Chain A
Amino acid sequence: VKAIIVPWFLLKVRRHNKLKREHEPFIPVFYSIIVVVISLILSFILSNQLSNSELHTKFFTVAFASILFGMYFIIIHKNIFSQVVGYLIIENGIFLLSLTIGNIMPIMVNLAILLDVLMGVLVLGIFINRIGDTFNSVEISQLSKLKD
């Protein structure tokens, strides 16, 4: 499901909104690389500091770094499509983290989680299409009417 249906659906959404494969982040790419490397090093240090026998250190490093990177990805991008990609990155990191802890779940519940993520991505994609149709673009600068 994750490897076939979600990318296919995201490709359809991208074609519908005529997005090009270009990124327009708020921060230049060079600084982003530095930030990501720092977050990787941080998670390395953290996972080695947590001398817990039950945590798999390598898994924990990758999972924690991917959660941090997903949040960073959401923050720096102007495009709501990229934000959905960031959400998926966080989701992957979280499942890896739950593997780290060694929680064994029943297969039915696992399937339910997978279905739920799929539903979430589908609904988010439908909303992207609607936003693209009504506002004629998918930039977040269009979505600034509502404030606290």
Chain B
Amino acid sequence: MFIAFIILSFLAGLSIFLIRKNLYTKVASLVFLAALLALGIYSWVHLDEFSSRFFKFDSAGVLLTFVLALLSIATFYHSRLYLLRHFFTPRQEATYYASLIMLIMAMCVAYFAENIALLWVSIEATTLFVSMLIYHERSKVALEASWKYLFVSSTGVAIAFIGHSISKHYSQREQYPRSEHGIHA
């Protein structure tokens, strides 16, 4: 189920980026929002079950997914208004929506990831997509801000990987139950 959600949102982002039609973008983002809500409800029903080897529906993840779903409905509505207020080419709008969808997908992966390395990869992916969103308005200041954001957070996430792997190792060795790493994004 979770892998189906990942594939669906990936396809939605990619097709929005390639097709660049206004109506199609609307429909695809509505489908994505519905899928996100469905994922939240599904994970609530199947609490504390493994979805595959790498994902587990723990309660913090379910809570955060519902918060994310509510927030992303508001975000899509306001980005519609924002894009209407400024003049952007269809290509820019498509890039905006595609990176927004991919960002939300990467955040969901980070919530439910059971494997430390997968968690790290998804957090790094959110960094990349956020930097694309920052650079959406192609001005000098936006360029500077996105460079600084990208560099500082990728270095920081790289250093956080040390702590992740050490804590994983010791929690395995001393036979503790798995500690909570879920909420970093």
A48 interfacial contact with B, CB 8 Å: no
A13 interfacial contact with B, CB 8 Å: no
**Once bound together, how far apart are the Cα atoms of A67 and B168, in whole Å?**
20
B interface, how many residues as a size bin? Answer: 20 to 34
Minimum CB–CB distance from B56 to chain A (whole Å) comes to: 15
Among residues of B, the one whose C-beta sits closest to the C-beta of A119 is B128
A123 touches B150 (CB 8 A): yes
Residue of A74, A83, A98, A120 touching B161 (CB-CB under 8 A): A98
Q: Fill in one digit per residue for A62-105: 1 if any B CB lies within 8 Å of its CB, else 0.
A: 00000100000010000010010001001100100110011101
A94 touches B159 (CB 8 A): yes
B83 interfacial contact with A, CB 8 Å: no
B124 interfacial contact with A, CB 8 Å: yes
Q: Fill in one digit per residue for B45-60: 1 if any A CB lies within 8 Å of its CB, else 0.
A: 0000000001000000
Minimum CB–CB distance from B151 to chain A (whole Å) comes to: 7
Among residues of A, the one whose C-beta sits closest to the C-beta of B173 is A54
B154 interfacial contact with A, CB 8 Å: yes
**Once bound together, how far apart are the Cα atoms of A101 and B141, in whole Å?**
42
Query: Which residues from chain B contact A101 at a C-beta distance below 8 Å?
Result: 165-166, 169
A87 touches B145 (CB 8 A): no
Residues of A contacting B: mostly:
helix
Known A-B contacts A87-B158, A90-B159, A112-B118; A102 and B169 likewise in contact (beta carbons under 8 Å):
yes
Residues of B contacting A: mostly:
helix
**Once bound together, how far apart are the Cα atoms of A130 and B146, in whole Å?**
11
A94 touches B128 (CB 8 A): no
A127 touches B147 (CB 8 A): yes
Residue of B128, B148, B159 touching A143 (CB-CB under 8 A): B148
A146 interfacial contact with B, CB 8 Å: yes
Minimum CB–CB distance from A24 to chain B (whole Å) comes to: 19
Residue of A67, A113, A143 touching B121 (CB-CB under 8 A): A113
Q: Fill in one digit per residue for B144-174: 1 if any A CB lies within 8 Å of its CB, else 0.
A: 1111101100110011011001101100010
B178 interfacial contact with A, CB 8 Å: no
Residue of B115, B141, B143 touching A131 (CB-CB under 8 A): B143
B151 touches A146 (CB 8 A): no
Query: Which residues from chain A contact B5 at a C-beta distance below 8 Å?
Result: none
Best-surrounded residue of B115, B135, B147 (most CB of chain A within 10 A)? B147
Given known contacts A101-B166, A103-B168, what 6 new A-B pairs fall within 8 Å (CB)?
A67-B159, A112-B121, A116-B125, A120-B124, A124-B151, A145-B140
* Listed A/B pairs (15) with beta-carbon separation below 8 Å: A87-B151, A87-B158, A94-B162, A97-B162, A97-B165, A103-B169, A112-B121, A120-B124, A124-B150, A124-B151, A127-B135, A127-B146, A135-B140, A143-B144, A146-B141
